[in-house]
Amino acid sequence: ALTPFIALSAQPIVTLFLAKSVRPIDSLAVMPVVHSLTFIFRSMGLSYQEVAITFLNENAKAYYKKIRNFAFIIAFGSTSAVFLLTATPLADLWFIKVSALTPDLADFAIIPAMIMSLLPALTVFISFERSVLVKDKITTPISVATLIEVMVIITSLFCFISFSTIPGAIVAAISFVIGRLFSNTFLYPIMNKSINRLIA
């Protein structure tokens, strides 16, 4: 229960930082749109976690490699889809036609969206890590990783907004990616130890 609470606490904090950033109004306008776009594809990774836990609980030795390989497929596909959507003329379709942003705001949203296109893949990988730890009944590191992610996001936002002139939406996108990378990296060695126990 602690993990989602910690994760949700990041959103209002990000909003506060955006209000004090470069181009605050534009950033506050586009970030919900960018976030919703990436969340559509991140949801694949979130759903994958439940499937991975189910199969690992059934037979970790038999299904581990298949689950791992499928994670790479989903990660590549979901991140590629977001990147292609934001780096091609399809961006206008999503940002202007679907999300009703003005052309100027749509252009402003493209760079943050391209940066955050990494999040679907990182979400799949962290879901894989979490599923292995849940199977091994080691869940405390999951909450710790989430706390690390939020703290890194806040620290990155503070540093970029205080000491750079980068627009807030781009700063937020970079901070989200850096935070998730730290979280993934923290869990990786712990997950490896669990894998060795589960498939030994």
132-188 pLDDT tens trace: 999 999 999 999 999 999 999 999 999 999 999 999 999 999 999 999 999 999 999
Q: Is 167 helix (H, G, I), strand (E, B) or coil?
A: strand
pTM (two decimals): 0.94
Give the Cα-Cα-Cα angle 79, 33, 84 (nearest 5 degrees).
Answer: 30
Per-residue confidence at 1, pLDDT binned at 50, 70, 90? Answer: low
User: Do the Cβ atoms of 127 and 52 come closer than 8 Å?
Assistant: yes
User: Torsion angle, CA of 159/122/29/81, rounded to 10 degrees?
Assistant: 140
Q: Give me the number of domains the chain comprises.
A: 1
Q: In residues, how long is the chain?
A: 200
Q: Which of 5, 27, 4 is nearest to 17 (CA)?
A: 27
How far from each other are the two terminal CA atoms of the chain, in whole angstroms? 31
How much is the pLDDT for 8?
76
83-118 pLDDT tens trace: 999 999 999 999 999 999 999 999 999 999 999 999
Q: Find the DSSP H helices in the chain.
A: 2-19, 24-87, 90-92, 103-116, 119-135, 140-163, 168-198
Domain range holding 128? 2-198
